[in-house]
């Protein structure tokens, strides 16, 4: 009986201490603590491929081990001799066998009454005394991860600073280059810094969100809070749905990402990421300028300002920013010019008065000769609070949705000039509106006559396309329908002289409408390897897409057996027309090639992340990149595209479609496609643009590699610049070309999870952020030199306007 009681006591004691450590107890390398609800686990681990041991906390219920906190970040244990214990003073002490202490919480020097260390369900490792007073907590010393309930900011009374710091790399949790913290100067704001320099500014809190991230809003998954008083300044968030897990991570490249784990998906879903584009780079356009990612160029001076260095500005060197065209005269009746939808300027040297209204704020600014701009500090309701700027206005960007109003102080004469220019533009707009109304009336009359004639003809194609009309919902899209007679007249009855090229869809013809507008007409041929489904797909998808780097669909024509798509005409044809031609490639200097690479990346980012539908293209290649009159790239050919949800999980298909040389291994072999499939294709395109050579059929010096393999060998040997097209030597900057090669190799890595997403790719291209080392590319092949030569001969027979689509049906 005594034995049974002793055994039961031992079992109950073990259960009670499963998530706790008391003085005299030790947790060794092969032991762990588990939080009461089983969400988190504390123990020893080796990160990545490292053998060193660290003490850390990770998610217990998540299938892939995800580390959220590390104790001994800078002092690894080289063997499995580590042990964690709690002393009578309430200090956690990590020892490395005989080598002594490698880490300690070192929170107190006084003996405490009944201290206990406990791993909470929140993932917070805490030490409390017998009276339940908090002695120490891991949440006060974050690593690279912010969990719900954790604070980011600082305690003004104790000086404790809560901030995230990146790991050096996936094998080493020691503090890296980037930090995420609250800058308390002026009006406090969230920033990501590289050592001491600001790289990205999330902005100040306006009562609803941070001014630099209007896309981050209250939602059903979590709510967030910003607290600023005389004792503390901090940002925190709490989960509203306990069935999910959420974490914010600052990765080793300085990108901040929020992940959400949903049990039914069994993967971490990326909820948002910042920064996402070049306008997010701190002060990208210099002082007194605004960055607008939807414009070209992206930088422009604020109203009333001109470039400080006009010659540099013309060369897209915006670092010096802008200066006032007319100096302020404190006593001459200065006023304000209102700008809307903005990320407010850097507030580190601004002044705030939260009790003033906007009217009072403007008056206060005008009374101070040094004040240059003002805005509401609180955006809730009609707005309240007052922010004043007294120096250069730095790091402003325009948002399509969200953003705040900024009132820039102007001299009276400057305001009069701006108002006059505005009225002149309005008169021009009125004239355009009247012209458009006349044109629309004419089109309505033409449409009415067209439908009357169609009724007389008995609507020949009504029955043939009845099911298609329902599926495509073209009426809902309000897509213009072209009369076949008009298209035939425009293309000279599909004359061979008007033919631009031939692809898997069928021939493409140039046409000219009666009003002089040039068009490109894709004609679905009877022998097309694409069919009605691809035709319907392209109409449904591209009709809803609007981006400067996507080709614009003007309308379609469906009469009898004819199925036609009418696009804007691209006078410079497709990218391969220049890239792979020994003579025409000289027209693409490095500045233009990089502009094309950047434009393709932005178009792809729009498809993956910013469009309403969220689309995987599945046939991205140089021949599907068209060039307008200014050599701006536009992604085309959406017949094989597919939509996807926010979870971005890989999808399996029994019908693999696309083009050899651009397909990633997991798609060509297993039929798995995702956004990372497009990323692989984009990486191939980068390497083709840099080298001027095709990936498929590549042959150089009898090495037997494709272009990816050749680029990889040069990278490993430390000679990547040998990949550069000979015609670029006089126009390229080696550092930028090297960066593009590295990004290209990162995009074509063998495993899809190793490849970056397009938001990361865009940031890598336009900033000097740290780039990880690429791993071996997919389809890194050693081929027989004869086979490579044979493939090369076949490839050389391809048309300069190649838009061929290869369709593979696995057996």
Span 571-589, pLDDT tens digits: 988 999 899 888 888 889 8
Q: What is the CATH number of the domain that holds 583?
A: 1.10.510.10
Q: Judge contact between 126 and 137, C-beta under 8 A.
A: yes
Same domain for 270 and 303? no
Q: Is 619 an active-site residue?
A: yes
- Report the 10 Å Cβ neighbour count for 706: 26
Lowest pLDDT segment from 232-236, 389-393, 417-421: 417-421
Domain boundary among 83, 117, 137: 137
Q: How many domains does the chain have?
A: 6
Q: Judge contact between 162 and 234, C-beta under 8 A.
A: yes
380 pLDDT higher than 60: yes
Residues 6+ apart with CB under 8 A from 16: none
pLDDT reported for residue 643: 81
Would 714 be classed as within a structural domain? Answer: yes
pLDDT of 435-458, one tens digit each? 667 767 766 776 677 666 655 554
The residues that bridge with 155 in the sheet, in sequence order, are: 232
Structural tokens at position 502: 């031939």
Q: Judge contact between 285 and 299, C-beta under 8 A.
A: yes
Same domain for 557 and 619? no
Q: Judge contact between 42 and 119, C-beta under 8 A.
A: yes
513 pLDDT higher than 60: yes
pLDDT reported for residue 601: 94
Q: Judge contact between 107 and 135, C-beta under 8 A.
A: yes
Q: Judge contact between 633 and 625, C-beta under 8 A.
A: yes
Q: What is the DSSP track for 401-436?
A: S--EEEEEEE-HHHHHHHHHHHHHHHHHHHHHHHHH
What is the band of 543 on the pLDDT scale with cuts at 50, 70, 90?
A: confident
- Residues 317-325 have a mean pLDDT of 92
Distance CA 224, CA 216 (A): 10
Same domain for 472 and 519? yes
The residues that bridge with 289 in the sheet, in sequence order, are: 301
Put simply, whether the predicted model's pTM sits higher than 0.75 gets the answer no
Domain residue limits at 103: 1-137
Distance CA 316, CA 548 (A): 19
Would 795 be classed as within a structural domain? Answer: yes
Distance CA 731, CA 97 (A): 60
What is the band of 423 on the pLDDT scale with cuts at 50, 70, 90?
A: low
Which of 731, 803, 730, 741 shows the shortest CA–CA distance to 777?
741
CA angle 570, 575, 577 (to 5 degrees): 90
Lowest pLDDT segment from 14-28, 123-137, 335-349, 657-671: 14-28
Bridge-based pairing of strands 116-119 and 82-86 is unpaired
Distance CA 482, CA 302 (A): 43
Distance CA 143, CA 150 (A): 12
Q: If you ran DSSP here, which 8-state letter would residue 606 be given?
A: I
Q: If you ran DSSP here, which 8-state letter would residue 159 be given?
A: -
Domain boundary among 514, 544, 568: 568
Same domain for 761 and 773? yes
Residues 6+ apart with CB under 8 A from 138: 57, 69, 71, 124, 125, 126
Q: Judge contact between 802 and 657, C-beta under 8 A.
A: no
pLDDT reported for residue 741: 95
Structural tokens at position 185: 């100067």
Which residue is associated with the tokens 């908090």? Answer: 134
Same domain for 486 and 559? yes
The residues that bridge with 236 in the sheet, in sequence order, are: 225
What b-and-e string marks burial along 270-287, b requiring 16 or more CB atoms within 10 Å of the CB?
Answer: bbbbbbbbbbbbbbbbbb
Same domain for 295 and 362? yes
Same domain for 216 and 295? no
14 pLDDT higher than 80: no
463 vs 579 pLDDT, higher one: 579
Lowest pLDDT segment from 491-500, 613-622, 693-702: 693-702
pLDDT > 70: what percent of the chain?
81
- Residues 453-473 have a mean pLDDT of 45
Q: If you ran DSSP here, which 8-state letter would residue 530 be given?
A: S
- Helix or strand or coil: residue 485? helix
657 vs 322 pLDDT, higher one: 322
Which of 758, 766, 769 shows the shortest CA–CA distance to 253?
769
Q: Judge contact between 407 and 338, C-beta under 8 A.
A: yes
Q: What is the CATH number of the domain that holds 65?
A: 2.90.10.10
Which of 24, 182, 242, 43 shows the shortest CA–CA distance to 125?
43
Would 415 be classed as within a structural domain? Answer: no
Distances (CA, A) of 492 to 503, 515, 557, 769: 20, 15, 16, 52
Same domain for 469 and 451? no
pLDDT reported for residue 781: 55
- Helix or strand or coil: residue 202? strand
Same domain for 20 and 166? no
9 vs 246 pLDDT, higher one: 246
791 pLDDT higher than 70: no
Distances (CA, A) of 109 to 87, 88, 105, 135: 11, 10, 11, 11
Same domain for 53 and 96? yes
pLDDT of 181-192, one tens digit each? 999 999 999 999
Distance CA 374, CA 366 (A): 10
- Report the 10 Å Cβ neighbour count for 29: 18
pLDDT of 126-173, one tens digit each? 999 988 899 999 999 999 999 999 999 999 999 999 999 999 998 999
Which of 514, 505, 482, 509 shows the shortest CA–CA distance to 495?
509
Q: What is the DSSP track for 312-375?
A: HHHTT--TT-EEESS---TTS--EEEEEEEEEPPP-TT-EEETT--HHHHHHHHHHSTT--EEE
What is the band of 221 on the pLDDT scale with cuts at 50, 70, 90?
A: confident
What is the band of 534 on the pLDDT scale with cuts at 50, 70, 90?
A: low
pLDDT reported for residue 55: 97
Which of 433, 706, 422, 693 shows the shortest CA–CA distance to 580?
693
- Residues 342-354 have a mean pLDDT of 94
Would 249 be classed as within a structural domain? Answer: yes
Bridge-based pairing of strands 625-627 and 633-635 is antiparallel
pLDDT reported for residue 270: 76
Distance CA 69, CA 124 (A): 9
Bridge-based pairing of strands 289-291 and 396-398 is parallel
CA angle 193, 766, 345 (to 5 degrees): 50
**Average pLDDT value for the chain:** 82
Distance CA 317, CA 285 (A): 8
Same domain for 117 and 149? no
Residues 6+ apart with CB under 8 A from 766: 277, 278, 281, 598
Same domain for 547 and 621? no
425 pLDDT higher than 90: no
Domain boundary among 550, 568, 586: 568
Catalytic residue among 29, 183, 277, 619: 619
């Amino acid at each position: 009986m005594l034995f049974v009681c002793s055994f039961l006591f031992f079992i109950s004691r073990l259960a009670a201490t499963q998530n706790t450590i008391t003085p005299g107890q030790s947790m060794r390398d092969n032991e762990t603590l588990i939080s009461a609800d089983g969400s988190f686990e504390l123990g020893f681990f080796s990160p990545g491929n490292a053998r060193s041991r660290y003490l850390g906390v990770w998610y217990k219920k998540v299938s892939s081990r995800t580390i959220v906190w590390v104790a001994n970040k800078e002092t690894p244990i080289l063997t499995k001799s580590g042990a964690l214990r709690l002393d009578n003073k309430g200090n956690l002490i990590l020892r490395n066998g005989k080598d002594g202490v490698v880490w300690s919480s070192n929170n107190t020097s006084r003996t405490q009454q009944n201290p206990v260390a406990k791993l909470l369900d929140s993932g917070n490792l805490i030490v409390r005394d017998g009276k339940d007073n908090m002695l120490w907590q891991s949440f006060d010393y974050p690593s690279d991860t912010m969990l719900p309930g954790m604070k980011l900011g600082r305690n003004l009374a104790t000086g404790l600073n809560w901030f995230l710091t990146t790991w050096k790399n996936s094998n080493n949790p020691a503090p890296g280059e980037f930090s995420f913290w609250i800058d308390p100067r002026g009006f406090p704001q969230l920033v990501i810094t590289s050592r001491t320099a600001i790289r990205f500014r999330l902005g100040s809190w306006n009562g609803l969100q941070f001014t630099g991230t209007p896309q981050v809003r209250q939602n059903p998954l979590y709510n967030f809070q910003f607290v600023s008083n005389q004792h503390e300044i901090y940002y925190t968030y709490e989960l509203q749905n306990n069935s999910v897990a959420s974490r914010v991570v600052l990765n080793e490249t300085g990108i901040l990402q929020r992940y959400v784990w949903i049990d039914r998906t069994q993967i971490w879903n990326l909820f948002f990421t910042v920064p996402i584009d070049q306008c997010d780079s701190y002060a990208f356009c210099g002082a007194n300028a605004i960055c607008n990612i939807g414009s070209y160029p992206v930088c422009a001076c604020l109203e009333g300002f001109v470039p400080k260095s006009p010659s540099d500005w013309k060369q897209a060197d915006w670092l010096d920013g802008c200066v006032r065209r007319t100096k302020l005269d404190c006593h001459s009746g200065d006023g304000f010019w209102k700008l809307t939808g903005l990320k407010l300027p850097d507030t580190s040297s601004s002044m705030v008065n939260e009790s003033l209204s906007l009217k009072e704020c403007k008056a206060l600014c005008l009374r101070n000769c040094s004040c240059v701009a003002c805005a509401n500090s609180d955006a809730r309701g009609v707005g309240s609070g007052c922010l004043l700027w007294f120096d250069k206005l730095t790091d402003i960007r325009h948002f399509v949705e969200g953003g705040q109003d900024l009132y820039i102080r102007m001299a009276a004469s400057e305001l009069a000039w701006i108002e006059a220019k505005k009225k002149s533009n309005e008169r021009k707009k009125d004239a355009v509106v009247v012209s458009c109304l006349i044109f629309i009336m004419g089109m309505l009359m033409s449409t009415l006559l067209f439908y009357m004639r169609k009724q007389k003809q008995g609507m020949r194609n009504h029955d043939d396309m009845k099911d298609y009309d329902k599926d495509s919902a073209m009426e809902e899209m309000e897509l213009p329908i072209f009369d076949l007679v008009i298209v035939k007249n425009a293309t000279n009855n599909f004359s061979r002289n008007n033919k631009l090229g031939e692809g898997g869809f069928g021939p493409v013809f140039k046409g000219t409408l009666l009003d002089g507008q040039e068009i490109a007409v894709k004609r679905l041929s009877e022998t097309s390897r694409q069919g009605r489904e691809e035709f319907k797909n392209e109409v449904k998808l591209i009709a809803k897409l609007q981006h400067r780097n996507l080709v614009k669909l003007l309308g379609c024509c469906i009469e009898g057996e004819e199925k036609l798509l009418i696009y804007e005409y691209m006078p410079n044809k497709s990218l391969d027309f220049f890239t792979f031609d020994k003579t025409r490639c000289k027209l693409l200097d490095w500045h233009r090639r990089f502009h094309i690479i950047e434009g393709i990346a932005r178009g792809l980012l729009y498809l993956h992340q910013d469009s309403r539908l969220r689309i995987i293209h599945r046939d991205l290649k140089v021949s599907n990149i068209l060039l307008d009159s200014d050599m701006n790239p536009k992604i085309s050919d959406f017949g094989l595209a597919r939509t996807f949800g926010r979870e971005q999980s890989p999808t399996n298909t029994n019908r693999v479609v696309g083009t050899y040389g651009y397909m990633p291994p997991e798609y060509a072999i297993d039929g798995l496609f995702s956004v990372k499939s497009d990323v692989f294709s984009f990486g191939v395109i980068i390497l083709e643009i840099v080298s001027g050579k095709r990936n498929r059929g590549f042959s150089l010096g009898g090495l037997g590699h494709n272009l990816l393999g050749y680029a990889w060998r040069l990278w490993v040997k430390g000679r990547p610049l040998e990949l550069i097209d000979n015609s670029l030597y006089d126009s390229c900057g080696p550092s930028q070309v090297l960066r593009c090669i590295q990004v290209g190799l990162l995009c074509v890595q063998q495993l899809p999870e190793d490849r970056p997403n397009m938001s990361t790719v865009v940031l890598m291209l336009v900033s000097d952020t740290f780039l990880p080392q690429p791993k071996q590319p997919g389809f890194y092949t050693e081929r027989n030199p004869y086979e490579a030569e044979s493939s090369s001969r076949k490839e050389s027979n391809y048309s300069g306007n190649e838009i061929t689509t290869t369709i593979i049906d696995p057996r």
